[in-house]
Structure 1
C-alpha cells in the first residue's frame, strides 16, 4: 500500500494530524480498504437489518468517511442516511456515492444532534480514529428506542478508555444490548472486530 496510510493511522496523536491524514488518504481510501477485505461495514449494516430497523428510518452515519459505510447500509435497503465526518477530503468522495441525504463537516459545524432512529459508528470510535467521548455523542443523537450500531476493532478492545464507555452505558440502564458479534474486520491484516447494536432506553 503506497505511503502505508493504514499502518500510520494508529500513530496519529492529534485531531489535526488525524484530519490531515484522512484528507490525504481520501482518493485511495476505498481501493486500499477494499483490497484488504474490509468487512465491518457490511457486518454492521446486516446487524441493523437483523435488529428490525425500518428501511426508511433516519440514520446518522457518524464518521462516514468516503461512504463505504453508507454504501453498505444502502445495500441492505436503508434509504434515509445522513453522513458526518471531520475530513473534507473524505466527504468529497462520499458525496459522489449517492448514498447520503445530506453530509455534514463536523470540523466546521459541530456534531449533528438528531434525534435519529439509528446512529452508526462503523470503524470510527477507537485507536487511530475518533476519541472515546464520541460514544456518548452518538447516544445523545438517538431518539428513545433508537439503535446504536458500532464496532470496536482488536486494538480498541484492549483500550479501557473505550470499552468503559460501553460498559458504563450498559450498567446504567441507559441502553440495552440487542446484539454482539465478533468477526472479520480487515481480512488482509488478519484483524477482527466486535459489532454491537444497542437500544437507547
Structure 2
C-alpha cells in the first residue's frame, strides 16, 4: 500500500520534518495533486498584481518540488531562487529548470542571504503544523527591505491556532508591515481544507 503522507504531515511538530519531506519527494506531487492543491496558484495570482518588475528576484522558501515556482513562473515572474530543507525535494525542483539557484538550508543555521537581497519572499504552504514554525514568519519579514513583498499562506490547520493570524495583526499594529491582499479560499479541496493567502508589504 502506498504511504499517504498527508495523513501524517499535520502531526509533525518541527522534529523530523526534513526526513518526512525527503521520504515524500517521489510521491508528493501525485498526492497533493490528487487532492487538488491550489494554494500556489492562488498566491502567485495575488502576487502578480503587485509586482512592478517581473525580473525582480523572488525567493521561494520551502520550495519543495517546485510547485510554487511553477505557479510564479506561470504569472510571468522570471527570476526565482529556491531554498528547502529537503535535498530530495530540491532534486525534483531542479529537474523543472525554472529556478535560477536552488539551495539546501538547515533549520539550525541562519538563512544564507542578506536583508534586502530579494524584492519578494514567498513562503507558500510552508508555515504551519507539520512544516515550518511560526517564527519563520518573523525571520523572513525581517529579511525584506522597506517596500519588499512577502507572499505566504496559512492553511486551516494553522488558523485553528489564533497565534498565526495574530502574528500578522501584530506587525500591522506596530507599523512594520501592511496587508495588501488577504484571500481565504481552497487549499486541498478534496479534503475540504482551505487556506488564507496574504500579500504583505514591509514598511
Q: Which residue of 1 aligns with 2:74?
A: 75
Identify the residue that residue 96 of structure 1 maps to in structure 2.
95
Cα distance in 2 between the residues matched to 1:141 and 1:162: 19
**Structure 2 Cα separation of the partners of residues 71 and 25 of structure 1:** 19
Secondary structure, in 3 states, of the residue corresponding to 1:162?
helix
Distance 1:90 1:52 in 2: 27
State the match for 1:194 in structure 2.
Answer: 196
Aligned length: 200
Q: Does 1:39 align with 2:41?
A: no
Per-residue deviation, residues 91-127 of structure 1 (Å, max 9, x unmatched) = 1111111111111111286413342100011000011
1:53 is displaced (CA, Å) by: 4.0
3-state SS of 1:185 partner = strand
After superposition, where does 1:69-148 map in structure 2 within 5 Å? 69-107=68-106, 110-114=110-114, 115=116, 116-148=118-150
Task: Name the CA shift for 1:53/1:106 in 2 (closer, same or farther; >3 Å).
Answer: farther
Map Cα deviations across residues 44-83 of structure 1 (whole Å, 9 max, x no partner): 0001111234211110101111100001001111111111
For structure 2, the residue ranges without an aligned partner over 5 or more in a row are none
Q: TM-score, normalised by structure 1?
A: 0.94
1:61 and 1:82 in contact (8 A); partners too: yes
Provide the rounded CA distance (Å) in 2 between the counterparts of 1:112 and 1:164.
28
SS in 1 for 2:10: helix
In structure 2, how many angstroms separate the alpha carbons of the residues matched to 1:86 and 1:184? 26
Residues 27-55 of structure 1: per-residue CA shift (max 9 Å, x gap): 11111111211000000000111123421
Unaligned runs of 5+ in 1: none
Q: Residue in 1 aligned with 2:8?
A: 8
Q: Which residue, 185, 199, 202 being the options, matches 1:183?
A: 185
Does the alignment pair 1:153 with 2:141? no
Question: What is the alpha-carbon distance in structure 2 between the residues aligned to residue 94 and residue 109 of structure 1?
Answer: 22
What's the secondary structure of 2:13's corresponding residue?
coil
> Mean alpha-carbon deviation: is it higher for 78-87 or for 152-161?
152-161
